[in-house]
Structure 1
Amino acid sequence: MSDATIAEICVGAVADTYLESGEVLAHAVGLIPAIGARLAKLTTAPDIILSDGEAFFMAEPPALGKSAASGGVIEGWAPFRRIFDILATGRRQSMMGASQIDAFGNQNISLIGDWKTPKRQLIGVRGAPGNTANHRVDYWISRHSARIFVENVDMVSGVGNDRARAVGDTLRFHHLGAIITNLCVFGFDADGRIMVKSVHPGVDPAEVERETGFTVDAQSAPLTRVPSDEELRLIREVIDPRGLRTREVAN
């Protein structure tokens, strides 16, 4: 039996989002997404391009927390202005976080409460509109909660499937992929609504349903795959030897 932790299972699920990506720039926000993108680069998706978070593209990623100059293999230079050119051509895949997500994948990172008198001011829409308009977007939620998965978001930062379809060809490059949480992996059904693709081993499906603020069926979902022995070796010894992944998912 594998001794993989939930954090490592989440890393494997992140890596799987790049299986059919080809040569795209991987934009990963958060520790688990960063580890997952590196794992994909070293295993099933060697064509994806990784940034060191500054200005270099890496042919071989350094261990988490190190720059390309201190451990990776640099294969290109990309100043910040060039990232917008890459984004506009769709040659990018982003995994972002969210303060709220609704049943059709509309994402909010801007505010909580009413627009005119918000209870909490957050970080603003940032790059969410451009990302969801131009290329595939996935989401990472480290603490699955009904406060995050809500019936209606307080403000739309990243565009969901219902709104994208409502404007038709205007958002023809809109593509929501997976939502990975510490409990499960979500996908989208034919109507663009969130559905449970898999539940992590050891997680009670009833907890997934209870901690989601709209109706989902987790009872019939399969288990999320466990990383292979080689993937676990890469995660533990090459990519994240300091165990930073436990900062986002403790077990």
Structure 2
Amino acid sequence: MKAVTITSVISLLAASAVSANPTLIKRAAPKGIDVSNYQGVVNFNAAKANGISFAYIKATEGHTFIDPDFSANYIAATNAGIIRGGYHFAHPDSSSGATQAKYFIANGGGWSSDGITLPGALDIEYNPSGAECYGLSASAMVSWIKDFSNTYHSSTGAYPVIYTTTDWWTTCTGNSAAFASTNPLWIARYASSIGALPAGWSFTTFWQYADSGPNPGDQDEFNGDMAGLKAIAKG
């Protein structure tokens, strides 16, 4: 099973710009949402009719929490014909990266080369209930993320997408560039432009640009066209 890497994504994005028609037509980047039990069970048929092409759905958190609405939302998105994947909210202070990757995979976060499943996403960001960097040094945080990422890749054949903010990444990993060649980036920035990216990444694959909008959950955009999005799901 071929891994989804930044190199392959770059090739896909470049290929999507080539057309047999000499007149290049700018296509709107596919829109998506990310949801959790906070939104409840989402009407994905309505979301698709309202322009949504992909979704990330919360599966797990730490090594003890399974989102109670994950299964219903994942099935609903699948039935609506939406390209979808699961995400894991990391708690680097509670257990190892490998432990949490295995928990994520066992509870809906896996990946298969079927053209409709996005690589699982590691949501690594501000601690909602304690120290911003979970009490870890920058080097320890980088090691934890590598442990999660390598375990996920060994099991599924794909590297996980990394969801973060430039501020958190700079503060808590020392602005590590260690993942830019392997892991697609999903940056969160609620503004009219993406702004500076973490070290190593020259572009972001996904952009979470708002926490509310015309569809439930956070609002996202894919950096490419539908062919590129489908290719990432295929691997």
The reply to whether TM is greater than 0.5 is no
Q: Quick one: higher RCO (CA 8 Å, sep 6+), 1 or 2?
A: 2
Q: Which has the larger radius of gyration?
A: 1
TM-score normalised according to structure 2 size: 0.35
Calculate the TM-score normalised by the size of structure 1: 0.34
